[in-house]
Amino acid sequence: MDREHLLRTLTSDILTYVMHGSFPEQHAMERIKPNGLDHRFDDFEMLMRLHFILRPDVVDFVEELPVRLRSIKTQTESVSSVSRGTVDGRIDWHGTTQERYSRNPQDKALFVCEHRSENYDIEENLVLKALLAIIYDTLQECSQYFQRDYEWVTDRWKDSLDLVETMTNLFERNVHVRRIRPPREYEPTDRMIERSTASRQRIYREAAALLGRYRETIAGDTDALHELIEQTAITPSDDETLFELYVLFRYVSAIENLSDEEFTMRTIESGSQEVARLTSEGTDEEVVLYHDNSARDRGLSFISNIFDKTERSLSRTERIHREAQKIANTYFTEDEFRTSTGRPDVIVLEVKGENQYKYLITEIKYSDRPETIRSGIKETLEYLAFLRQDGELVHDEPDIFGSGWSGVLIVRDLPDTKTTRVDEQRSIRILQASEVEEQLQAILQRIL
């Protein structure tokens, strides 16, 4: 499974789950935004706007603006004005006679004059102004990031500071842009954009095409969204993060497929702890999916019980582990830095029944290297052995790793390596990337 496949699947997942409210928007957006962006970009529309201004054709459009704005279209209008003592433009004698007659026939200093005026508020210019406003507003939101040497900026906006300054000056000071009134709330309409695409001037055709593509992306058009993510490539440079998000969406899909007339897939509210939740009407049964530190408030932790042992009963390896924990707990004063609190970066599925909880712990290693997989096996076993609910170990002796279906390790595909079938494995289940779609639902059925 390569990066392109992950990107295509991610596009589909965003449209299927995020935009329909069954997956928290913030949880997805904060994982596909560039490193260093603040929480404003955890919003789908804001992040898509950032993607949009990093499109190569948008950058090219801005680069050509200074020259092309000189030739934008206007409509010439005749404007009449009444003046006294001065003549501004051509005298309209018929209008002057009527105006004098209505006011004071003896007033020989009153004149009605006509002069020509340029009207900038034509349809094509309103389309152009709407596009420029989107680019300008987004650049203002991102201004601090253009001051830093982020690769995702410099790859698109070469000499970015100069180009951003050019765009800012054009929008704020260019006489032509300033004379175009801001589009009203309902403008530009789809018909105005469509007519602009047939303009004789390239600036209007391109502006209409870009604005139309932007609207399609925000509205959730599949092709537009995939094209935008593919072109701007604002995805984690660490492919494991992207793969982890892919697996997380596979869990949501599997849970949704398992829901029947007894269970209901709940829409996730903004700011919720959960990634997904199924509830059973009339009972206390529920299935909840957590990711990263989202289950901290639910009392889940993975704390070793080394502190419960005497010094003499510890092996050298255990003594090192305990001393390392003690040093960290003494050195750091905030809980989030202590090694004995919180929980690792895993996916946790919690199944609540009648007065009991069952858990499925999933560790992800986007690697096909044997040593990395062995490390992942050890970590998954540790998570199972030290999993605690409200301070109490979940798995007791002798089954400290659970039922054998309580832990999953997901790795990259191993096409040239012979491996054991999932139902023949022991203690935990190991899935390759291409097996996740098919096997995950079967594993979930074992614990539900």
* Least confident range of 197-201, 206-210, 225-229: 225-229
Backbone angle region of 399, left / alpha / beta, with phi > 0 → left and psi within -120 to 50 → alpha: beta
Q: Is the pLDDT of residue 204 over 90?
A: yes
Domains of the chain with CATH codes: 37-70+122-233 (no CATH), 75-119 (no CATH), 240-303+341-447 (3.40.1350)
212 contact partners, CB below 8 Å, separation of at least 6: 193, 197
Q: Which of 10-14, 205-209, 336-340, 388-392 has the highest mean pLDDT?
A: 205-209
Provide mean pLDDT across the span 283-289: 77
Helix (H) or strand (E) holding 226: helix 222-232
Residue with more model confidence, 438 or 208 = 208
Q: Is the pLDDT of residue 342 over 50?
A: no
Give the per-residue pLDDT at 43.
64
Helix (H) or strand (E) holding 193: helix 190-196
Mean pLDDT taken over the chain: 78
Give the per-residue pLDDT at 125.
92
Share of the chain above pLDDT 70, in %: 73
Q: Is the pLDDT of residue 97 over 70?
A: yes
Interatomic CA distance for residues 24 and 271, integer angstroms: 8
Give the per-residue pLDDT at 30.
67
Residue with more model confidence, 175 or 296 = 175
* Least confident range of 139-148, 333-342, 343-352, 402-411: 333-342
In this structure, how many other beta carbons lie within 10 angstroms of the beta carbon of residue 152? 20
Contact 390, 343 (CB under 8 A): no
Q: Is the pLDDT of residue 233 over 60?
A: no
Of 273, 424, 272, 434, nearest in space to 348 by CA: 273
* Least confident range of 124-138, 168-182, 188-202, 323-337: 323-337
Residue with more model confidence, 26 or 90 = 90
Q: Which of 70-74, 144-148, 281-285 has the highest mean pLDDT?
A: 70-74
Residues constituting the chain = 448
Give the per-residue pLDDT at 337.
44
Residue with more model confidence, 384 or 285 = 384
Contact 345, 308 (CB under 8 A): no
Q: What is the dihedral of CA 321, 323, 329, 331, to 10 degrees?
A: -120
Share of the chain above pLDDT 90, in %: 14
Summarize pLDDT for 298-314 with one digit per residue, the tens.
667 776 665 566 666 77
Give the per-residue pLDDT at 196.
94
Helices assigned H by DSSP within 33-142: 44-53, 56-68, 93-103, 123-141
Q: Which pLDDT band, with edges at 50, 70 and 90, does 336 fall under?
A: very low
Provide mean pLDDT across the span 1-6: 76
The distance of Cα 388 from the centroid of its chain, to the nearest Å, equals: 32
Summarize pLDDT for 382-391 with one digit per residue, the tens.
888 888 888 7
Contact 282, 53 (CB under 8 A): no
Q: Is the pLDDT of residue 351 over 70?
A: yes
Residue with more model confidence, 13 or 66 = 66
Cα atoms in the 13 Å half-sphere on the side-chain side of 215? 15
Give the per-residue pLDDT at 307.
56
The two structure tokens encoding residue 169: 């000056």
Provide mean pLDDT across the span 194-217: 92
Give the per-residue pLDDT at 338.
47
CA angle 122, 124, 126 (to 5 degrees): 70
Q: Is the pLDDT of residue 195 over 90?
A: yes
Contact 388, 300 (CB under 8 A): yes
Q: Is the pLDDT of residue 212 over 90?
A: yes
Residue with more model confidence, 30 or 413 = 413
Of 305, 374, 383, nearest in space to 345 by CA: 383
Backbone angle region of 430, left / alpha / beta, with phi > 0 → left and psi within -120 to 50 → alpha: beta
Q: Is the pLDDT of residue 130 over 90?
A: yes
By CB atoms closer than 10 A (0-12, 13-18, 19+), residue 104 is exposed
In this structure, how many other beta carbons lie within 10 angstroms of the beta carbon of residue 231? 16
Helices assigned H by DSSP within 303-435: 316-331, 370-386
pTM of the model: 0.64
* Least confident range of 37-51, 143-157, 319-333: 143-157
